[in-house]
Amino acid sequence: MSEAKLNAGSYRDSAGHVYEHAQRVYRTIHEAGCDDYEAAREAGVLADAISSGFLIESNELEPGCWPKGLPSSRYVIEHSRIPYISYPYEWSFSQLKAAALHHLDFQLFLLKRDFKLRDASAYNIQFIGCRPIFIDLLSVAPYREGEFWLGHRQFCEQFLNPILLRAKLGVAHNSWYRGSLEGIPSSSLSAMLPSVKKLSWNMFSHVVLPAKLEKRAQLSPDAAILKVKSNGGLSRLGYMGFLTQLRNWISSLHPRDKEKTTWADYAKKNSYSDDERELKKTFISNFVKCVCPDMLMDLGCNTGDYSVTALDAGAKYVVGFDFDQYALDLAQARCLDVNEAIQGFLPLWLDASNPSPDHGWQQCERIGFAARAQQVDAVIALAFEHHLAIAKNIPLPQVVRWLVSLAPQGVIEFVPKEDVTIQKMLALREDVFPDYSLISFETALLSCAKIVARQEVSKGGRVLFWFCAV
């Protein structure tokens, strides 16, 4: 019988670690974490947090139910499994904002019950569909009157500063965050901000002042430590007021570059007629009804039209990916729309020509795109392949092989060079793609997959291919 395996990203906390076994998730609690866990459990705080939607479903197991391979522990908790693990550098602006507000709301919830969060890592939040959930039970600890918020710097670097980067400068956080896993330092953001944007109290207290204090601490660490120790502390009322003020500020922030983009408007303004669009949806619906995927990947999901089609046809969960920031924000808003209430759709940011690698400590702390794709049952890539083959100059056979490698079955849409979309892409550049054709695409697909069905879906010659990998 196999043994439980330590999650590679769970090594920092001496209070306990996360293990996986047979598609189930376990958290060990060691001696160092017992007092805080027992206090939260006995006070009913953990149960209240779960029922209120702040904390992931968690159940304490009897020793006889523990899986093999766990180290000696005082307690073992089983958590509900997150359908698809994602990271802050894959979230849209609206998702990062939702995660930040969830963290602050959870803090306020806990303070009212004499508890707090020990840290403020953005990696302690995951998404189930469009809704954030806190996953680190061992971050909950008793609150003691007069305590500072020790997680403020971490919160700023991993939540606030990436949000401000887009809200104040119009720069998306994703690429920077991916290259700097602990977030965006206040000193870096402060250096980028024009003087006029530093004048507000919020910006001064959460960005400029922390940056100055950080620099001062580096120059004179002993004096900085002495000053912190001599401070009189913060009352509970002051603590809650500080969190509430920060929450209100974040809630008011919106992307500076909020103008509609070409691809965000694509769902409404494209080359399809209504009949052609319905033909495409019917093909996707029939595919999903036939293969019944537990998890489907939608590459180039845009605002989620075909992700919703797949869910309506029976897909249990859809992870969508797109490069367009505004489209992703619209997709997230769509998930939360009470008229649709899409619970099983998670839209994420992806540069498909440079997908997230395995990285972090020992290059396995954060799992890359390819490894996580192994849990996908099916993939759809609609009006997508030409963005790699034409816009990124990736050879068409390589694009096809990569798409087929992501799932055992799927649907790929081929867009011919004569299509108006590609003609716009080629308008200001040389056409260096003599081998880009329907015949070349089909040949490449047949070299690594079986074609189950095909359907021309536009007058311009767009064709859907239903494939099964071989």
Task: Look at the alpha carbons of 191, 195, 197, 199 in this order and tell me if their dihedral is positive or negative.
Answer: positive
Strand partners, 21: 24
Q: Is 78 helix (H, G, I), strand (E, B) or coil?
A: strand
Element (H, E) at 131: strand 131-134
Task: Give the other-Cβ count within 10 Å of 155's Cβ.
Answer: 24
For the chain, the maximum distance between any two Cα atoms, rounded to a whole number of angstroms, is 75
Task: Choose among 60, 307, 91: nearest CA to 178.
Answer: 91
Contact 380, 296 (CB under 8 A): yes
What 8-state DSSP symbol labels residue 359?
A: B
The confidence score (pLDDT) of residue 213 equals: 82
Q: How far apart are CA 69 and CA 26, in angstroms?
A: 11
Strands (E), 289-338: 295-299, 317-322
What is the b/e burial string over 274-302, where b = at least 16 CB atoms within 10 angstroms of the residue's CB? eebbebbbebbbebbeebebebbbbbbbb
What 8-state DSSP symbol labels residue 98?
A: H
Q: What is the pLDDT along the chain (470 residues), one digit of tens a residue?
A: 689 999 999 998 999 999 999 999 999 999 999 999 999 999 999 999 999 999 999 999 999 999 999 999 999 999 999 999 999 999 999 999 999 999 999 999 999 999 999 999 999 999 999 999 999 999 999 999 999 898 999 999 999 999 999 999 999 999 999 999 999 999 999 999 999 888 899 999 999 998 988 777 666 655 545 555 556 578 999 999 999 999 999 999 999 976 655 545 555 555 567 888 999 999 999 999 999 999 999 999 999 999 999 999 999 999 999 999 999 999 999 988 755 657 899 999 999 999 999 999 999 999 999 999 999 999 999 999 999 999 999 999 999 999 999 999 999 999 999 999 999 999 989 999 999 999 999 999 999 999 999 999 999 899 999 999 99
Q: How far apart are CA 36 and CA 45, in angstroms?
A: 11
Q: How far apart are CA 156 and CA 12, in angstroms?
A: 20
Task: Choose among 130, 33, 44: nearest CA to 83.
Answer: 130
Q: Phi and psi at residue 19, in whole multiples of 5°?
A: -125, 155
Q: How far apart are CA 230 and CA 358, in angstroms?
A: 43
Task: Give the other-Cβ count within 10 Å of 119's Cβ.
Answer: 16
Cα three-residue angle 186-192-198, rounded to 5 degrees:
75
Q: How far apart are CA 308 and CA 313, in angstroms?
A: 8
Contact 344, 320 (CB under 8 A): no
Contact 28, 19 (CB under 8 A): yes
Q: How far apart are CA 156 and CA 255, in angstroms?
A: 17
Record the pTM: 0.93
Q: Is 311 helix (H, G, I), strand (E, B) or coil?
A: helix
Tell me the one-letter amino acid at 67: P
Q: Which residue has the tokens 């020992």?
A: 362
The burial of 316, by beta-carbon neighbours within 10 Å (0-12 exposed, 13-18 middle, 19 or more buried), is given as: middle
The confidence score (pLDDT) of residue 164 equals: 97
Q: Is 89 helix (H, G, I), strand (E, B) or coil?
A: helix
Q: How far apart are CA 303 and CA 238, in angstroms?
A: 41
